[in-house]
Amino acid sequence: MYDAVEDPYCCTGTTVLKNIAGIRDQAALDRFEAVSTAQRSDEPLPQGRLNVIHYCAIHHHLFQDVYAWAGKFRTVRISKDGSAFCYPENITREMKALFADLKRRRHLQGLSRDEFATQAAHFLATLNAIHPFREGNGRTQTSFLALLADRAGHPIALQRINPEAFLAVVIASFQGNEGPLTEELRRLVAP
């Protein structure tokens, strides 16, 4: 659960996010969200240009049945385990800069497997630090990474992801150590 203060995204008097189904119990919302996003992830992801608009469309696609704000940047400050993510007033600017850099890098096409893993890890670490949505950042990052990797000619073997281990290397990257994330991406890139 994210740390947030005076969160308009939550049901009054709770830390449960307001949701389309009107669920006010966190465990029930977690189950509903898992089922809903799993069903949507079985469908083709939206087509796009691997830009900010495309990224938001992917979040909307995955979470459209759960949250009315799916695909929209958050408007509150959030942190997790004491680490603050990008302030909402800076999200648009930081997302535009990150995705402009990705475009300048030709969406990581034409790189060796090692170069792809290194640059993709840096992109993912920065994207995670921005954390543009109130919920669903990790799932959206993973979906986008899979599209990016496919288009760059380095498909990711998603079935080999260990969620706990992947989360640990993403957290390490947030703390400034991108090495473990690079190694994990190198492992996941199909040879």
**Domains in the chain, CATH or no CATH each:** 3-188 (1.10.3290.10)
Q: What pLDDT does 145 receive?
A: 97
The band of 190, judged by pLDDT with boundaries at 50, 70 and 90, is confident
Say yes or no to pLDDT of 39 above 90. yes
Strand arrangement, sheet containing 78-80: 3-4, 78-80, 83-84
Of the candidates 148, 7, 137, which has an alpha carbon nearest to the alpha carbon of residue 72?
A: 137
Average pLDDT, the chain: 95
Q: In the structure, how many helices (H) and strands (E) does the chain have?
A: 7, 3
Say yes or no to pLDDT of 45 above 70. yes
In this structure, the number of other CB atoms found within 10 A of the CB of residue 166 comes to 17
Say yes or no to pLDDT of 3 above 70. no
Contact 1, 14 (CB under 8 A): no
The band of 55, judged by pLDDT with boundaries at 50, 70 and 90, is very high
Q: What pLDDT does 5 receive?
A: 56
Model-level pTM?
0.94
Residue 100 CA: distances (Å) to CA of 13, 52, 105, 118, 153: 40, 9, 9, 18, 20
Q: What pLDDT does 73 receive?
A: 98
The band of 171, judged by pLDDT with boundaries at 50, 70 and 90, is very high
Work out the average pLDDT over 176-183: 97
Percent of the chain with pLDDT over 70: 97
Q: Measure the N-to-C terminal CA separation of the chain; round to a whole number of Å.
A: 36
Residue 129 class from Cβ within 10 Å (0-12 exposed, 13-18 middle, 19+ buried)? middle
Contact 146, 105 (CB under 8 A): no
Residue 116 CA: distances (Å) to CA of 73, 98, 158, 180, 181: 27, 16, 16, 14, 12
How far, in Å, CA of 191 to CA of 184, rounded? 13
Joined together, the tokens standing for residue 95 give 């997302």
Work out the average pLDDT over 143-167: 95
Work out the average pLDDT over 30-46: 97
The band of 56, judged by pLDDT with boundaries at 50, 70 and 90, is very high
The band of 84, judged by pLDDT with boundaries at 50, 70 and 90, is very high
Q: What is the pLDDT of residues 62-80, one digit of tens each?
A: 999 999 999 999 999 999 9
